[in-house]
Structure 1
Amino acid sequence: MGQANTLLHIRGVLPSLRPAEQRVANEILENPQQAVHMTISELGRRAQVSDATVVKFCKRLGYKGFQEFKILLAQDVVTKPQPVYGEIEPADSLGTVKDKIFQSNIQALQDTALTLSESALEEAVHAILSAREIHFYGIGASGLVAQDAEQKFARIGLPARSFVDAHMQITRAVLLNPGDVAVGISYSGDTYEISHAIELAKEAGAVTICITNFSKSRLAQLCDIVLLTASREHVFRSGAISSRIAQLSAIDALFISTVLQDFDRFQACITKTRKAIEARREA
Protein backbone atom coordinates (compact mmCIF):
# COMPACT_ATOMS: atom_id res chain seq x y z
CA MET A 1 0.00 0.00 0.00
CA GLY A 2 1.38 3.42 -0.92
CA GLN A 3 0.53 6.52 1.07
CA ALA A 4 1.36 10.09 0.13
CA ASN A 5 2.86 10.37 3.62
CA THR A 6 2.87 7.64 6.25
CA LEU A 7 2.86 10.02 9.22
CA LEU A 8 -0.09 11.95 7.80
CA HIS A 9 -1.91 8.66 7.24
CA ILE A 10 -1.41 7.73 10.91
CA ARG A 11 -2.79 11.07 12.07
CA GLY A 12 -5.77 10.71 9.76
CA VAL A 13 -6.88 7.35 11.23
CA LEU A 14 -5.73 7.94 14.83
CA PRO A 15 -9.21 8.50 16.36
CA SER A 16 -10.51 5.24 14.88
CA LEU A 17 -7.71 3.05 16.31
CA ARG A 18 -8.10 0.90 19.40
CA PRO A 19 -6.45 2.28 22.60
CA ALA A 20 -3.45 -0.06 22.38
CA GLU A 21 -2.98 0.77 18.69
CA GLN A 22 -3.19 4.46 19.53
CA ARG A 23 -0.24 4.02 21.91
CA VAL A 24 1.78 2.58 19.01
CA ALA A 25 0.69 5.46 16.78
CA ASN A 26 1.57 8.10 19.34
CA GLU A 27 5.00 6.58 19.95
CA ILE A 28 5.74 6.72 16.20
CA LEU A 29 4.36 10.25 15.79
CA GLU A 30 6.37 11.55 18.73
CA ASN A 31 9.60 9.79 17.71
CA PRO A 32 9.52 9.06 13.96
CA GLN A 33 13.31 9.20 13.54
CA GLN A 34 13.83 6.60 16.28
CA ALA A 35 10.90 4.42 15.18
CA VAL A 36 12.54 3.82 11.80
CA HIS A 37 15.39 1.98 13.53
CA MET A 38 13.33 0.05 16.10
CA THR A 39 12.57 -3.66 15.93
CA ILE A 40 8.97 -4.74 16.37
CA SER A 41 9.74 -5.74 19.96
CA GLU A 42 11.43 -2.42 20.74
CA LEU A 43 8.47 -0.46 19.40
CA GLY A 44 6.07 -2.67 21.34
CA ARG A 45 8.05 -2.19 24.54
CA ARG A 46 8.15 1.61 24.10
CA ALA A 47 4.40 1.70 23.47
CA GLN A 48 3.70 -0.87 26.21
CA VAL A 49 1.94 -3.28 23.87
CA SER A 50 2.61 -6.76 22.48
CA ASP A 51 4.38 -7.53 19.19
CA ALA A 52 1.03 -8.78 17.86
CA THR A 53 -0.55 -5.38 18.53
CA VAL A 54 2.17 -3.66 16.49
CA VAL A 55 1.45 -6.01 13.58
CA LYS A 56 -2.30 -5.38 13.89
CA PHE A 57 -1.61 -1.65 13.91
CA CYS A 58 0.33 -1.89 10.64
CA LYS A 59 -2.35 -4.01 8.97
CA ARG A 60 -5.16 -1.75 10.19
CA LEU A 61 -3.42 1.09 8.34
CA GLY A 62 -3.39 -1.04 5.19
CA TYR A 63 0.22 -2.24 5.18
CA LYS A 64 1.20 -5.87 4.64
CA GLY A 65 3.20 -5.92 7.84
CA PHE A 66 5.75 -4.17 10.03
CA GLN A 67 8.59 -4.31 7.47
CA GLU A 68 6.59 -2.60 4.71
CA PHE A 69 5.43 0.02 7.19
CA LYS A 70 9.03 0.73 8.31
CA ILE A 71 10.28 1.06 4.73
CA LEU A 72 7.63 3.65 3.85
CA LEU A 73 8.08 5.45 7.17
CA ALA A 74 11.82 5.67 6.53
CA GLN A 75 11.19 7.27 3.14
CA ASP A 76 9.00 9.91 4.76
CA VAL A 77 11.43 10.63 7.57
CA VAL A 78 14.29 11.07 5.08
CA THR A 79 12.48 13.01 2.34
CA LYS A 80 9.89 14.88 4.41
CA PRO A 81 11.45 15.88 7.75
CA GLN A 82 9.03 17.16 10.34
CA PRO A 83 9.45 20.86 11.21
CA VAL A 84 10.00 21.88 14.79
CA TYR A 85 7.15 23.87 16.25
CA GLY A 86 5.16 23.63 19.43
CA GLU A 87 1.78 24.21 20.95
CA ILE A 88 0.82 27.68 22.06
CA GLU A 89 1.43 28.10 25.77
CA PRO A 90 -0.14 30.72 28.09
CA ALA A 91 3.30 32.20 28.80
CA ASP A 92 4.29 32.61 25.12
CA SER A 93 5.25 36.09 23.96
CA LEU A 94 3.37 37.79 21.13
CA GLY A 95 6.29 37.10 18.81
CA THR A 96 6.28 33.40 19.71
CA VAL A 97 2.51 33.15 19.24
CA LYS A 98 2.82 34.77 15.81
CA ASP A 99 5.58 32.37 14.75
CA LYS A 100 3.72 29.28 16.00
CA ILE A 101 0.43 30.29 14.36
CA PHE A 102 2.04 30.92 10.98
CA GLN A 103 4.16 27.76 11.17
CA SER A 104 1.08 25.72 12.08
CA ASN A 105 -0.90 27.12 9.17
CA ILE A 106 1.98 26.64 6.73
CA GLN A 107 2.38 23.04 7.86
CA ALA A 108 -1.38 22.41 7.53
CA LEU A 109 -1.29 23.66 3.93
CA GLN A 110 1.79 21.59 3.04
CA ASP A 111 0.33 18.46 4.63
CA THR A 112 -3.08 18.96 3.01
CA ALA A 113 -1.42 19.38 -0.39
CA LEU A 114 0.05 15.88 0.11
CA THR A 115 -3.16 14.35 1.48
CA LEU A 116 -5.78 15.80 -0.88
CA SER A 117 -6.39 13.20 -3.58
CA GLU A 118 -6.34 14.45 -7.17
CA SER A 119 -8.65 11.66 -8.28
CA ALA A 120 -11.15 12.53 -5.53
CA LEU A 121 -10.90 16.18 -6.52
CA GLU A 122 -11.61 15.28 -10.15
CA GLU A 123 -14.65 13.22 -9.15
CA ALA A 124 -15.97 16.10 -7.06
CA VAL A 125 -15.54 18.57 -9.93
CA HIS A 126 -17.49 16.36 -12.34
CA ALA A 127 -20.27 15.87 -9.79
CA ILE A 128 -20.57 19.62 -9.19
CA LEU A 129 -20.67 20.44 -12.89
CA SER A 130 -23.51 17.95 -13.40
CA ALA A 131 -25.59 19.01 -10.40
CA ARG A 132 -28.85 20.93 -10.57
CA GLU A 133 -28.43 21.92 -6.92
CA ILE A 134 -25.29 22.10 -4.76
CA HIS A 135 -25.41 22.26 -0.96
CA PHE A 136 -22.58 23.05 1.46
CA TYR A 137 -23.19 22.09 5.11
CA GLY A 138 -21.09 23.30 8.04
CA ILE A 139 -21.44 24.11 11.74
CA GLY A 140 -19.39 26.71 13.65
CA ALA A 141 -16.05 27.50 11.99
CA SER A 142 -16.79 24.93 9.28
CA GLY A 143 -19.97 26.88 8.61
CA LEU A 144 -17.84 29.88 7.64
CA VAL A 145 -16.07 27.64 5.13
CA ALA A 146 -19.45 26.50 3.75
CA GLN A 147 -20.48 30.14 3.28
CA ASP A 148 -17.21 30.90 1.51
CA ALA A 149 -17.90 27.97 -0.84
CA GLU A 150 -21.37 29.30 -1.64
CA GLN A 151 -19.97 32.75 -2.43
CA LYS A 152 -17.42 31.29 -4.83
CA PHE A 153 -19.56 28.77 -6.69
CA ALA A 154 -22.66 30.97 -6.87
CA ARG A 155 -20.56 33.77 -8.35
CA ILE A 156 -19.78 31.65 -11.40
CA GLY A 157 -23.47 30.93 -11.93
CA LEU A 158 -23.71 27.50 -10.30
CA PRO A 159 -26.75 26.70 -8.11
CA ALA A 160 -24.84 26.66 -4.81
CA ARG A 161 -26.26 27.27 -1.33
CA SER A 162 -24.73 27.02 2.12
CA PHE A 163 -26.62 25.97 5.25
CA VAL A 164 -25.19 26.47 8.74
CA ASP A 165 -28.38 25.79 10.72
CA ALA A 166 -29.01 22.13 11.54
CA HIS A 167 -32.74 22.30 10.82
CA MET A 168 -32.19 24.04 7.48
CA GLN A 169 -29.59 21.41 6.57
CA ILE A 170 -31.87 18.43 7.07
CA THR A 171 -35.03 20.02 5.62
CA ARG A 172 -33.15 20.97 2.45
CA ALA A 173 -31.21 17.70 2.25
CA VAL A 174 -34.37 15.59 1.99
CA LEU A 175 -35.51 17.68 -1.02
CA LEU A 176 -32.42 16.96 -3.10
CA ASN A 177 -32.73 14.80 -6.19
CA PRO A 178 -30.49 12.21 -7.86
CA GLY A 179 -27.52 13.97 -9.42
CA ASP A 180 -27.55 16.87 -6.95
CA VAL A 181 -24.53 17.38 -4.69
CA ALA A 182 -24.25 17.75 -0.90
CA VAL A 183 -20.89 18.71 0.63
CA GLY A 184 -20.40 18.19 4.37
CA ILE A 185 -17.55 20.06 6.06
CA SER A 186 -16.26 18.88 9.45
CA TYR A 187 -12.71 18.74 10.86
CA SER A 188 -13.44 15.72 13.06
CA GLY A 189 -15.90 14.09 10.70
CA ASP A 190 -17.97 13.24 13.77
CA THR A 191 -20.24 16.30 13.96
CA TYR A 192 -23.67 14.68 14.27
CA GLU A 193 -25.59 17.44 12.49
CA ILE A 194 -23.39 17.26 9.39
CA SER A 195 -23.38 13.47 9.22
CA HIS A 196 -27.17 13.41 9.62
CA ALA A 197 -27.71 15.93 6.81
CA ILE A 198 -25.33 14.02 4.53
CA GLU A 199 -27.08 10.76 5.33
CA LEU A 200 -30.44 12.26 4.33
CA ALA A 201 -28.95 13.76 1.16
CA LYS A 202 -27.55 10.35 0.26
CA GLU A 203 -30.93 8.71 0.81
CA ALA A 204 -32.42 11.32 -1.54
CA GLY A 205 -29.99 10.21 -4.26
CA ALA A 206 -27.52 13.09 -4.11
CA VAL A 207 -23.78 12.65 -4.63
CA THR A 208 -22.21 13.19 -1.21
CA ILE A 209 -18.81 14.81 -0.70
CA CYS A 210 -17.01 15.62 2.54
CA ILE A 211 -14.06 17.75 3.57
CA THR A 212 -12.62 16.26 6.75
CA ASN A 213 -9.36 15.53 8.52
CA PHE A 214 -10.05 11.89 9.34
CA SER A 215 -10.48 9.17 6.74
CA LYS A 216 -12.12 6.69 9.14
CA SER A 217 -14.64 9.15 10.60
CA ARG A 218 -18.39 8.59 10.30
CA LEU A 219 -18.71 11.40 7.77
CA ALA A 220 -15.97 9.97 5.56
CA GLN A 221 -17.56 6.53 5.69
CA LEU A 222 -20.91 7.98 4.60
CA CYS A 223 -19.66 9.99 1.63
CA ASP A 224 -19.15 8.99 -1.99
CA ILE A 225 -16.14 11.31 -2.34
CA VAL A 226 -13.71 12.21 0.46
CA LEU A 227 -11.49 15.30 0.30
CA LEU A 228 -8.97 14.91 3.11
CA THR A 229 -7.27 17.78 4.90
CA ALA A 230 -4.32 17.38 7.27
CA SER A 231 -4.15 19.92 10.08
CA ARG A 232 -3.23 19.56 13.73
CA GLU A 233 -5.27 21.35 16.37
CA HIS A 234 -3.95 21.52 19.92
CA VAL A 235 -4.70 23.65 22.99
CA PHE A 236 -6.88 26.18 21.21
CA ARG A 237 -8.83 23.61 19.13
CA SER A 238 -12.09 25.51 19.70
CA GLY A 239 -10.66 28.31 17.60
CA ALA A 240 -10.33 25.96 14.60
CA ILE A 241 -7.17 27.75 13.50
CA SER A 242 -5.16 25.65 11.06
CA SER A 243 -8.10 23.36 10.23
CA ARG A 244 -10.08 26.30 8.87
CA ILE A 245 -7.15 27.35 6.67
CA ALA A 246 -6.85 23.79 5.31
CA GLN A 247 -10.59 23.56 4.62
CA LEU A 248 -10.65 26.94 2.84
CA SER A 249 -7.73 25.84 0.67
CA ALA A 250 -9.51 22.59 -0.21
CA ILE A 251 -12.52 24.66 -1.29
CA ASP A 252 -10.24 26.93 -3.32
CA ALA A 253 -8.71 23.91 -5.08
CA LEU A 254 -12.18 22.54 -5.82
CA PHE A 255 -13.41 25.92 -7.08
CA ILE A 256 -10.46 26.67 -9.39
CA SER A 257 -10.49 23.10 -10.74
CA THR A 258 -14.19 23.58 -11.57
CA VAL A 259 -13.59 26.95 -13.25
CA LEU A 260 -10.90 25.47 -15.51
CA GLN A 261 -13.35 22.92 -16.91
CA ASP A 262 -15.26 25.70 -18.72
CA PHE A 263 -12.99 28.69 -18.34
CA ASP A 264 -14.58 31.11 -20.83
CA ARG A 265 -18.08 30.61 -19.46
CA PHE A 266 -17.08 30.95 -15.81
CA GLN A 267 -14.66 33.81 -16.44
CA ALA A 268 -17.51 35.72 -18.09
CA CYS A 269 -19.57 35.26 -14.91
CA ILE A 270 -16.72 36.50 -12.74
CA THR A 271 -16.23 39.53 -14.97
CA LYS A 272 -19.94 40.36 -14.91
CA THR A 273 -20.17 40.10 -11.12
CA ARG A 274 -16.97 42.13 -10.65
CA LYS A 275 -18.42 44.94 -12.79
CA ALA A 276 -21.59 44.90 -10.69
CA ILE A 277 -19.51 45.33 -7.53
CA GLU A 278 -17.31 48.03 -9.05
CA ALA A 279 -20.42 50.03 -9.98
CA ARG A 280 -21.23 50.26 -6.26
CA ARG A 281 -17.89 51.78 -5.33
CA GLU A 282 -17.46 55.50 -4.93
CA ALA A 283 -15.40 57.19 -7.61
Structure 2
Amino acid sequence: MTSETTAVEGGADTLAVLERIRALSASMSSAEQRVARQVLRDPAAVIHQSVNELAQAAGTSPATVVRFCQGLALRGYQELKLALIRETLPHDRQLVDEVSVDDGPDKIIRKVLGGAASALTEAARSIDSAALATIADLVVAAPRTLFVAVGTSAPLAMDTAYRLTTVGVDARFAGDAHVQHVTARMLAVGDVCIAISHTGSTVETLAAVRAAVDAGAHTAAITSFVRSPLTELVRHTVVAGSRETAYRIEAMTSRIVHLSVLDALFALVVHSPCSRDALAMTADVLIEHRI
Protein backbone atom coordinates (compact mmCIF):
# COMPACT_ATOMS: atom_id res chain seq x y z
CA MET A 1 0.00 0.00 0.00
CA THR A 2 1.47 3.36 -1.00
CA SER A 3 1.83 6.27 1.41
CA GLU A 4 -0.60 8.24 -0.76
CA THR A 5 -3.25 5.54 -0.47
CA THR A 6 -2.72 5.32 3.29
CA ALA A 7 -3.19 9.07 3.56
CA VAL A 8 -6.40 8.90 1.59
CA GLU A 9 -7.82 6.21 3.87
CA GLY A 10 -6.98 8.48 6.80
CA GLY A 11 -9.11 11.26 5.34
CA ALA A 12 -8.80 13.99 2.71
CA ASP A 13 -7.27 16.37 5.24
CA THR A 14 -4.28 14.04 5.77
CA LEU A 15 -3.09 14.61 2.22
CA ALA A 16 -4.85 17.44 0.39
CA VAL A 17 -6.17 16.54 -3.04
CA LEU A 18 -4.13 19.23 -4.82
CA GLU A 19 -1.00 17.93 -3.14
CA ARG A 20 -1.99 14.40 -4.14
CA ILE A 21 -2.41 15.48 -7.77
CA ARG A 22 1.05 17.04 -7.81
CA ALA A 23 2.59 13.95 -6.23
CA LEU A 24 0.96 11.44 -8.57
CA SER A 25 0.77 13.36 -11.88
CA ALA A 26 4.14 12.08 -13.13
CA SER A 27 2.84 8.49 -13.05
CA MET A 28 -0.40 9.32 -14.89
CA SER A 29 -1.13 8.79 -18.58
CA SER A 30 -0.66 11.78 -20.88
CA ALA A 31 -4.43 12.34 -21.06
CA GLU A 32 -4.77 12.21 -17.27
CA GLN A 33 -1.84 14.62 -16.94
CA ARG A 34 -3.77 17.13 -19.04
CA VAL A 35 -6.65 16.82 -16.57
CA ALA A 36 -4.21 17.26 -13.69
CA ARG A 37 -2.76 20.44 -15.22
CA GLN A 38 -6.24 21.84 -15.78
CA VAL A 39 -7.25 21.18 -12.17
CA LEU A 40 -4.03 22.61 -10.76
CA ARG A 41 -4.26 25.65 -13.04
CA ASP A 42 -7.69 26.72 -11.78
CA PRO A 43 -9.18 24.45 -9.07
CA ALA A 44 -11.90 27.00 -8.22
CA ALA A 45 -13.18 26.85 -11.81
CA VAL A 46 -13.42 23.05 -11.67
CA ILE A 47 -15.90 23.34 -8.78
CA HIS A 48 -18.37 24.94 -11.21
CA GLN A 49 -17.80 22.52 -14.11
CA SER A 50 -19.52 19.30 -15.09
CA VAL A 51 -17.38 16.27 -15.88
CA ASN A 52 -17.86 16.94 -19.60
CA GLU A 53 -16.83 20.58 -19.25
CA LEU A 54 -13.60 19.66 -17.46
CA ALA A 55 -12.90 16.99 -20.07
CA GLN A 56 -13.38 19.51 -22.87
CA ALA A 57 -11.14 22.07 -21.18
CA ALA A 58 -8.43 19.41 -20.78
CA GLY A 59 -8.81 18.13 -24.33
CA THR A 60 -9.81 14.64 -23.23
CA SER A 61 -12.87 12.50 -22.47
CA PRO A 62 -15.20 12.26 -19.44
CA ALA A 63 -14.02 8.66 -18.97
CA THR A 64 -10.46 9.92 -18.60
CA VAL A 65 -11.58 12.42 -15.96
CA VAL A 66 -13.26 9.60 -14.02
CA ARG A 67 -10.09 7.47 -14.26
CA PHE A 68 -8.09 10.47 -13.08
CA CYS A 69 -10.33 10.74 -10.00
CA GLN A 70 -10.11 7.03 -9.29
CA GLY A 71 -6.33 7.23 -9.56
CA LEU A 72 -6.46 9.72 -6.69
CA ALA A 73 -8.40 7.14 -4.62
CA LEU A 74 -11.58 9.17 -5.03
CA ARG A 75 -14.94 7.56 -5.74
CA GLY A 76 -15.64 9.84 -8.67
CA TYR A 77 -15.79 13.38 -10.01
CA GLN A 78 -18.24 14.61 -7.39
CA GLU A 79 -15.85 13.66 -4.60
CA LEU A 80 -13.06 15.56 -6.39
CA LYS A 81 -15.23 18.68 -6.47
CA LEU A 82 -16.07 18.37 -2.78
CA ALA A 83 -12.39 18.00 -1.93
CA LEU A 84 -11.56 21.10 -3.99
CA ILE A 85 -14.32 23.01 -2.21
CA ARG A 86 -12.75 22.18 1.15
CA GLU A 87 -9.35 23.36 -0.05
CA THR A 88 -10.19 26.45 -2.09
CA LEU A 89 -13.19 28.08 -0.40
CA PRO A 90 -13.09 29.97 2.90
CA HIS A 91 -14.60 27.93 5.74
CA ASP A 92 -17.54 30.33 6.12
CA ARG A 93 -18.59 29.55 2.52
CA GLN A 94 -19.06 25.82 3.13
CA LEU A 95 -22.60 26.13 4.48
CA VAL A 96 -25.84 26.50 2.52
CA ASP A 97 -25.62 29.08 -0.29
CA GLU A 98 -23.96 32.24 1.15
CA VAL A 99 -24.74 31.44 4.77
CA SER A 100 -21.80 31.87 7.15
CA VAL A 101 -21.21 30.50 10.61
CA ASP A 102 -21.80 33.92 12.16
CA ASP A 103 -25.26 34.49 10.66
CA GLY A 104 -28.32 34.57 12.89
CA PRO A 105 -31.71 32.98 12.06
CA ASP A 106 -33.15 36.07 10.34
CA LYS A 107 -30.15 36.47 8.07
CA ILE A 108 -30.02 32.76 7.26
CA ILE A 109 -33.69 32.74 6.23
CA ARG A 110 -33.30 35.87 4.09
CA LYS A 111 -30.21 34.49 2.37
CA VAL A 112 -31.72 31.10 1.62
CA LEU A 113 -35.02 32.49 0.31
CA GLY A 114 -33.23 35.28 -1.53
CA GLY A 115 -30.94 32.75 -3.18
CA ALA A 116 -33.92 30.75 -4.39
CA ALA A 117 -35.60 33.90 -5.74
CA SER A 118 -32.42 34.91 -7.57
CA ALA A 119 -32.08 31.44 -9.10
CA LEU A 120 -35.66 31.54 -10.38
CA THR A 121 -35.18 35.03 -11.83
CA GLU A 122 -32.03 33.90 -13.63
CA ALA A 123 -33.79 30.79 -14.95
CA ALA A 124 -36.66 32.90 -16.29
CA ARG A 125 -34.14 35.00 -18.26
CA SER A 126 -32.01 32.18 -19.61
CA ILE A 127 -34.24 29.16 -20.16
CA ASP A 128 -34.66 27.83 -23.70
CA SER A 129 -38.42 28.33 -24.06
CA ALA A 130 -38.47 26.80 -27.55
CA ALA A 131 -36.93 23.58 -26.22
CA LEU A 132 -39.46 23.39 -23.39
CA ALA A 133 -42.34 24.05 -25.81
CA THR A 134 -41.07 21.25 -28.06
CA ILE A 135 -41.00 18.83 -25.12
CA ALA A 136 -44.57 19.83 -24.24
CA ASP A 137 -45.70 19.14 -27.82
CA LEU A 138 -44.04 15.71 -27.69
CA VAL A 139 -45.81 14.91 -24.42
CA VAL A 140 -49.19 15.94 -25.82
CA ALA A 141 -48.70 13.72 -28.89
CA ALA A 142 -47.07 10.74 -27.15
CA PRO A 143 -48.93 7.54 -26.31
CA ARG A 144 -46.84 7.30 -23.12
CA THR A 145 -44.54 9.63 -21.19
CA LEU A 146 -42.03 8.17 -18.74
CA PHE A 147 -40.16 10.22 -16.16
CA VAL A 148 -36.84 8.93 -14.85
CA ALA A 149 -35.04 10.36 -11.82
CA VAL A 150 -33.46 9.26 -8.56
CA GLY A 151 -32.55 10.86 -5.24
CA THR A 152 -33.94 14.33 -4.63
CA SER A 153 -35.02 14.63 -8.28
CA ALA A 154 -37.41 11.69 -7.83
CA PRO A 155 -40.16 13.64 -6.00
CA LEU A 156 -40.20 16.18 -8.84
CA ALA A 157 -40.67 13.41 -11.39
CA MET A 158 -43.42 11.77 -9.35
CA ASP A 159 -45.27 15.07 -8.88
CA THR A 160 -45.08 16.00 -12.56
CA ALA A 161 -46.20 12.55 -13.73
CA TYR A 162 -49.21 12.76 -11.42
CA ARG A 163 -50.16 16.28 -12.53
CA LEU A 164 -49.91 15.33 -16.20
CA THR A 165 -52.17 12.36 -15.49
CA THR A 166 -54.80 14.81 -14.25
CA VAL A 167 -54.97 16.39 -17.70
CA GLY A 168 -55.26 13.12 -19.62
CA VAL A 169 -51.59 12.36 -20.31
CA ASP A 170 -50.45 8.76 -19.84
CA ALA A 171 -47.50 9.79 -17.66
CA ARG A 172 -45.62 7.35 -15.47
CA PHE A 173 -42.94 7.32 -12.82
CA ALA A 174 -41.60 4.44 -10.75
CA GLY A 175 -39.56 5.10 -7.64
CA ASP A 176 -37.34 2.05 -8.13
CA ALA A 177 -34.41 2.65 -10.50
CA HIS A 178 -34.56 -0.91 -11.87
CA VAL A 179 -38.24 -0.49 -12.72
CA GLN A 180 -37.40 2.79 -14.47
CA HIS A 181 -34.73 1.03 -16.50
CA VAL A 182 -37.01 -1.83 -17.56
CA THR A 183 -39.95 0.49 -18.30
CA ALA A 184 -37.73 2.72 -20.42
CA ARG A 185 -36.69 -0.28 -22.53
CA MET A 186 -40.37 -1.13 -23.04
CA LEU A 187 -41.10 2.27 -24.61
CA ALA A 188 -41.82 2.51 -28.32
CA VAL A 189 -41.34 4.96 -31.14
CA GLY A 190 -43.45 8.02 -30.38
CA ASP A 191 -43.24 7.62 -26.60
CA VAL A 192 -41.31 10.17 -24.52
CA CYS A 193 -38.73 9.69 -21.78
CA ILE A 194 -37.97 12.77 -19.66
CA ALA A 195 -35.00 12.64 -17.30
CA ILE A 196 -34.58 15.00 -14.36
CA SER A 197 -31.05 15.23 -13.02
CA HIS A 198 -29.14 18.06 -11.36
CA THR A 199 -25.66 16.86 -12.38
CA GLY A 200 -26.60 14.88 -15.47
CA SER A 201 -24.14 12.24 -14.28
CA THR A 202 -26.28 9.86 -12.20
CA VAL A 203 -25.60 6.28 -13.25
CA GLU A 204 -29.15 4.96 -12.82
CA THR A 205 -30.74 7.83 -14.74
CA LEU A 206 -28.25 7.49 -17.58
CA ALA A 207 -28.98 3.76 -17.83
CA ALA A 208 -32.73 4.39 -18.15
CA VAL A 209 -32.22 7.08 -20.79
CA ARG A 210 -29.94 4.82 -22.83
CA ALA A 211 -32.67 2.17 -22.72
CA ALA A 212 -35.21 4.72 -23.98
CA VAL A 213 -32.87 5.72 -26.80
CA ASP A 214 -32.47 2.04 -27.77
CA ALA A 215 -36.26 1.72 -27.77
CA GLY A 216 -36.56 4.58 -30.25
CA ALA A 217 -38.44 6.92 -27.90
CA HIS A 218 -38.09 10.69 -27.81
CA THR A 219 -35.74 11.76 -25.03
CA ALA A 220 -35.49 14.99 -23.04
CA ALA A 221 -33.74 16.27 -19.93
CA ILE A 222 -34.22 18.91 -17.26
CA THR A 223 -30.75 19.51 -15.80
CA SER A 224 -28.34 22.11 -14.42
CA PHE A 225 -25.33 21.75 -16.72
CA VAL A 226 -25.03 22.44 -20.45
CA ARG A 227 -22.50 19.65 -20.94
CA SER A 228 -22.88 16.34 -19.15
CA PRO A 229 -23.26 12.64 -20.01
CA LEU A 230 -27.03 13.15 -19.92
CA THR A 231 -27.12 16.07 -22.37
CA GLU A 232 -25.04 14.00 -24.79
CA LEU A 233 -27.67 11.25 -24.71
CA VAL A 234 -30.96 13.12 -25.03
CA ARG A 235 -32.44 14.88 -28.04
CA HIS A 236 -33.97 17.84 -26.18
CA THR A 237 -32.44 19.64 -23.19
CA VAL A 238 -33.62 22.38 -20.85
CA VAL A 239 -30.81 23.72 -18.66
CA ALA A 240 -31.83 25.53 -15.50
CA GLY A 241 -29.46 25.48 -12.55
CA SER A 242 -28.20 27.71 -9.78
CA ARG A 243 -24.98 28.88 -8.17
CA GLU A 244 -25.16 26.13 -5.57
CA THR A 245 -24.07 23.62 -8.22
CA ALA A 246 -20.59 24.47 -6.97
CA TYR A 247 -21.16 23.87 -3.29
CA ARG A 248 -23.65 21.12 -2.57
CA ILE A 249 -24.34 17.52 -3.53
CA GLU A 250 -28.09 17.61 -2.90
CA ALA A 251 -28.70 21.01 -4.45
CA MET A 252 -32.03 22.20 -3.05
CA THR A 253 -32.25 25.51 -4.88
CA SER A 254 -31.72 23.73 -8.18
CA ARG A 255 -34.62 21.42 -7.32
CA ILE A 256 -36.81 24.49 -6.79
CA VAL A 257 -35.77 25.79 -10.21
CA HIS A 258 -36.39 22.41 -11.84
CA LEU A 259 -39.80 22.16 -10.19
CA SER A 260 -40.71 25.56 -11.63
CA VAL A 261 -39.56 24.48 -15.08
CA LEU A 262 -41.70 21.37 -14.80
CA ASP A 263 -44.61 23.55 -13.68
CA ALA A 264 -44.13 25.57 -16.87
CA LEU A 265 -44.11 22.31 -18.86
CA PHE A 266 -47.39 21.34 -17.21
CA ALA A 267 -48.88 24.74 -18.06
CA LEU A 268 -47.87 24.32 -21.71
CA VAL A 269 -49.55 20.92 -21.83
CA VAL A 270 -52.68 22.29 -20.13
CA HIS A 271 -52.78 25.01 -22.77
CA SER A 272 -53.40 22.36 -25.45
CA PRO A 273 -57.10 21.82 -26.36
CA CYS A 274 -57.00 18.07 -25.71
CA SER A 275 -56.34 18.54 -21.99
CA ARG A 276 -59.34 20.70 -21.12
CA ASP A 277 -61.95 17.94 -20.75
CA ALA A 278 -59.59 15.86 -18.59
CA LEU A 279 -58.85 18.89 -16.40
CA ALA A 280 -62.57 19.40 -15.82
CA MET A 281 -63.03 15.74 -14.87
CA THR A 282 -60.10 15.92 -12.45
CA ALA A 283 -61.57 19.00 -10.81
CA ASP A 284 -64.87 17.17 -10.41
CA VAL A 285 -63.15 14.18 -8.76
CA LEU A 286 -61.11 16.33 -6.37
CA ILE A 287 -64.24 18.10 -5.13
CA GLU A 288 -65.16 14.81 -3.46
CA HIS A 289 -62.00 15.07 -1.33
CA ARG A 290 -62.62 18.59 -0.10
CA ILE A 291 -64.90 19.60 2.80
Per the normalisation by structure 2, the TM-score is 0.66
Residue 197 of structure 1 is matched in structure 2 by 208
Quick one: structure 1 residues 279 and 215, their matched pair in 2 at CA, closer, same or farther if it must change by over 3 Å?
A: same
Q: How does 1:168-187 map to 2 (within 5 A)?
A: 168-187=179-198
Q: Does 1:166 align with 2:177?
A: yes
Q: 1:111 is matched with which residue?
A: 122
Q: Structure 1 residues 234 and 192 mapped into 2: Cα distance closer, same or farther (>3 Å)?
A: closer
Q: Give percent identity, aligned residues only.
A: 29
How far apart, in 2, do the equivalents of 1:220 and 1:113 lie? 20
The 5 A counterparts of 1:233-252 are 233=244, 237-252=248-263
Contact 2:224 2:240 in 1 (8 A): yes
Matched to 2:205, the amino acid is I
Q: Give runs of ≥4 in structure 1 deviating > 6 Å.
A: none
2:278 paired residue among 269, 278, 281:
269
Q: In 2 relative to 1, CA 94–233 (structure 1 residues): closer, same or farther, beyond 3 Å?
A: same
In the alignment, the residues of structure 1 paired with residue 287 and residue 260 of structure 2 have an alpha-carbon distance, to the nearest angstrom, of 26
CA shift digits 1:111-155 (9 cap, x unpaired): 212332122112212211221110111111100110111121111
Q: Which residue of structure 1 lines up, in the alignment, with residue 86 of structure 2?
A: none
Q: Deviations over 1:146-168 (max 9, x none)?
A: 01111211110100011231111
Question: 1:134 touches 1:180 (CA, 8 Å); kept in 2?
Answer: yes
Is contact 1:146–1:163 with CA below 8 Å preserved after alignment? no
Alignment check: 8 A CA contact 2:147 2:172 kept: yes
Quick one: distance in 2 between partners of 1:200 and 1:234? 27
Amino acid at match of 1:177: A
Q: Is the 8 A contact 1:179 1:206 kept in 2?
A: yes
Q: Is the 8 A contact 1:189 1:212 kept in 2?
A: yes
Residue of structure 2 aligned with 1:136, choices 143, 147, 150: 147
Q: Match of 1:92?
A: 103
2:138 is matched with 127
Query: Do residues 212 (structure 1) and 223 (structure 2) align?
Result: yes
Give the AA of the match of 1:109: L
Aligned pair count reads 214
Task: Say whether the 8 Å CA contact 2:97–2:247 is kept in structure 1.
Answer: no
The answer to whether the 8 A contact 2:199-2:224 is kept is yes
Q: Summarize the Cα distance change of 1:235–1:226 in structure 2 as closer, same or farther, 3 Å threshold.
A: closer
Q: Residues 122 and 148 (structure 1 numbering): CA distance in 2 closer, same or farther, change over 3 Å?
A: same
Query: Which ranges of structure 2 fall in alignment gaps of 5 or more residues?
Result: 1-33, 49-55, 58-95
Equivalent pair of 2:97/2:112 in contact (CA under 8 Å): no
The alignment partner of 2:133 has SS state of helix
- Counterpart AA for 2:157: A
Cα 1:122–1:86 change in 2 (3 A) is closer
More deviation in 173-182 or 106-115? 106-115
Asked if 1:229 corresponds to 2:243, the answer is: no
Deviation at residue 190 of structure 1 after TM alignment: 0.4
SS in 1 for 2:163: helix
- Separation in 2, partners of 1:232, 1:218: 20
- 247-256 vs 116-125, which deviates more? 116-125
What is the alpha-carbon distance in structure 2 between the residues aligned to residue 280 and residue 222 of structure 1? 42
AA at the equivalent of 1:200: A
CA 1:25–1:123: 2 relative to 1, 3 Å? farther
Matching residue of 1:153: 164
The Cα of 1:199 is off from its aligned counterpart by 0.6
Tell me the TM-score normalised to structure 1 length: 0.68
SS of 1:237's partner is coil
Deviations 1:153-203 (A, max 9, x none): 111010001123111111101100011000111000001100110011010
Amino acid at match of 1:101: V
Answer yes or no: is the 8 Å Cα contact 1:156–1:270 preserved in 2. yes
